[in-house]
Amino acid sequence: MLIAITRQVSPSINKCELTHLAHQPIDMDVVRAQHRQYEEALKSLGVEVLSLPEEADLPDSVFVEDIAIVVDEAAVITRPGADSRKPETESIAKALAPYRKLFYIQAPGTLDGGDVLTVHKDIYVGLSSRSNQAAIEQMRAFLAPFDYAVKGLKVTGCLHLKSAVTQVAADTLLVNPAWVGKDNFPDMKFIEVEPSEAYAANAVLVGKTVLYPSSYPKTRLRLEEAGIRLAIVDASELAKAEGALTCCSLIFKV
């Protein structure tokens, strides 16, 4: 059984942190409707959704992925790279505590979950403006007893590693090679994004179906031609907050 922890959109989302994007007004009615569609899409794929209430004073709090790394044996509560996001950890830790043993990243480590890609027993961590080497070393110590290999790699041009690469099948990654090198992922197959759709590499693999945004039709065609089964959702307003589909849930087995 799969559970997805989500959180309702904060009414202050227009004050969100932005690094690589210019501010655009976010329509509250539309962004909430898109988030509901996202949750319904997860439910349609057999995922039980645990939806947490909005955090009015935490603009980025809908992006729960950044607050924890969940593997089968444990969960790591992050220490977000943006100071405004550090208070988000308390409620996520409380939600995860019934399901996993918790570890906590401590200063000077900083880590956003959007920088963490887990492929089987390999955990790739993007060295970005939000995540640093100290956090990687702590993760390595936490997860080594469970036989995970934690590897840091450089990301350029985007906020998080999973802006540049995500898993779309057991042996296949969707990648923007301009932002992260394919040589970091040995023994994997690749589907490259359409070059004109730089942000198209973020997708959510649920079982054998990939949840994918409607904004990238050319990359969508590449996925379909590769035999990837897709469920399409609109996340255009969430994207204005520099968020993507993986950002909006923590999915794990129980």
Segment 53-70, tens digit of pLDDT: 999 999 999 999 999 999
Residues of the chain with pLDDT > 70: what percent?
Answer: 100
Nearest 5°: phi and psi at 247? -60, -25
Q: How many domains does the chain have?
A: 1
**Residue 8 clears pLDDT 90, i.e. is over it:** yes
What's residue 242's pLDDT? 86
Q: Which residues contact 213 (CB under 8 A, 6 or more apart)?
A: 200, 202, 203, 232, 233, 234, 235, 236, 239, 244, 245
158 in active site: no
247 in active site: yes
Domain range enclosing 37: 2-253
**CATH number of the domain bearing residue 72:** 3.75.10.10
Q: How confident is the model at residue 159 (pLDDT cuts 50, 70, 90)?
A: confident
**How high does pLDDT run on average in the chain?**
96
Q: How confident is the model at residue 123 (pLDDT cuts 50, 70, 90)?
A: very high
Q: What is the pLDDT of residues 227-250, one digit of tens each?
A: 999 999 999 999 999 889 999 999
Dihedral sign of CA atoms 26, 30, 36, 42 in order: negative
Q: What is the pLDDT of residues 21-43, one digit of tens each?
A: 788 999 999 999 999 999 999 99
Q: How confident is the model at residue 115 (pLDDT cuts 50, 70, 90)?
A: very high
Q: Which of 16, 35, 158, 160 is catalytic?
A: 160
What's residue 4's pLDDT? 98
Run of H or E residues at 104? strand 101-104
Cα separation, 28 vs 12, in Å, equals 9
Q: What is the pLDDT of residues 77-98, one digit of tens each?
A: 999 999 999 999 999 999 999 9
